[in-house]
Amino acid sequence: MPRVGPRAFLLLAQASLVLVVLNIVSGAAVRLTDSGLGCPDWPTCSARSVTPPLTFHPVVEFSNRMVVVALSAVVAATLIASWLRRPRRRDLAWLSAALVGGVVGEAVLGGVVVYSKLNPYAVMTHFMVGMALLTVALVLALRSGRARGPGRSLVPSAGRRVAWLFSALVVLAVVAGTATTGSGPHAGGPDAVRLPVPLDDMARTHSGIAIAAGALLLVELALLRRARAPEGVERRGELMLVAVVAQGALGYTQFFLHVPALLVGFHVFGATLVWGATVWFLDGLRAHDVEIGAVAAVAEPEDAALSPPAIAAGVGR
């Protein structure tokens, strides 16, 4: 059987991450351009044709489906590569399998969204599963470039607890933001059912949760400064704050401009960045050793797997 080295597997994991983000953004484009039923059938575009007619809404909807096809192929290749990887890593294999399962779930939910005529709860679930996929893909990419193991904590327990509470508020903000879109003018199609909640009320709820998350992040940064956390940890926290403030400013701007579709699209993309930055920030609270061969191909995978540093780092078959 062919073998896959750590560097090649890392590249596959990174490609999966890029396609997951593209899937979320292209799915948002479908919703924001009212193209949700551009292809009235699934998985073909219509009962009579696999491909869409060359008109705007069907092409937008079908393009998102093609992104899912590309994503499916890459995550399947990543799963196979996790079995052929040397040194073999059980944690990477499980994450790769979860990625494949999530993509299958996304595809099925896509069919539910079409056949339910853009049911708002199905659309919300579709987006949130995409965000869960983003989490798995980012964790996989992060772990693929380092040695196996929990790593060494760089911050005190209070800092870790506040960081996890902050991440929970970010999740709530993302859910509320999805519901805000579902109650507004961009529900996926001109005849799509909206959530039975006034847009202003959902926007206030969403912004309130986001403000609470931002305040908690300031508390976290103060704790890191007081504990004299490593410079890299503080820098990640500061970048996290920049992302949260920029996303909040964009959210208020789109609200006062009566939610134009283009700005809503940037806000959705910003949500993926904020959540990705949150996972990255949490990951940075621990220090990890770099796996031999994952970052720089200084040795053949077989040699790296048998080298003393790799064995000492806990990287085994």
Domain edges within the chain: 1-148+288-317, 152-287
Question: pLDDT per residue over 289-302, tens digit each?
Answer: 887 666 544 333 33
Per-residue model confidence as pLDDT tens digits over 170-228: 999 999 999 998 888 887 777 778 888 899 999 999 999 999 999 999 999 999 999 99
The per-residue pLDDT of the chain, averaged, comes to 87
pLDDT of residue 293: 61
Peptide bond into 301 cis (omega under 30): no
When pLDDT is cut at 50, 70 and 90, the band that residue 309 belongs to is: very low
The kind and range of the H/E element at 286 are strand 286-287
Q: What is the pLDDT of residues 68-121, one digit of tens each?
A: 999 999 999 999 999 999 888 999 999 999 999 999 998 888 888 888 888 889
| pLDDT band with cut points at 50, 70 and 90 for residue 259 | confident
Residue 191: both structure tokens together: 């005849």
Exposure b/e, 279-305, CB count within 10 A at least 16 = b? bbbbbbbeebbebbbbeeeeeebeebb
pLDDT given for residue 236 in this prediction = 94
Distances from the Cα of 239 to the Cα of 98, 160, 243, 252, angstroms: 29, 17, 6, 20
Chain segment 117-133, per-residue pLDDT in tens? 888 898 899 999 999 99
Query: Using CA atoms, how far apart are residues 130 and 225, in angstroms rounded to an integer?
Result: 34
What are the tokens at 78? 């990543």
pLDDT in tens, 266-281: 999 999 999 999 999 9
275 is written with which tokens?
Answer: 């959540």
Beta bridge partners of 152: 287
Rounded Cα–Cα distance for residues 113 and 94 (Å): 28
Contact 42, 72 (CB under 8 A): no
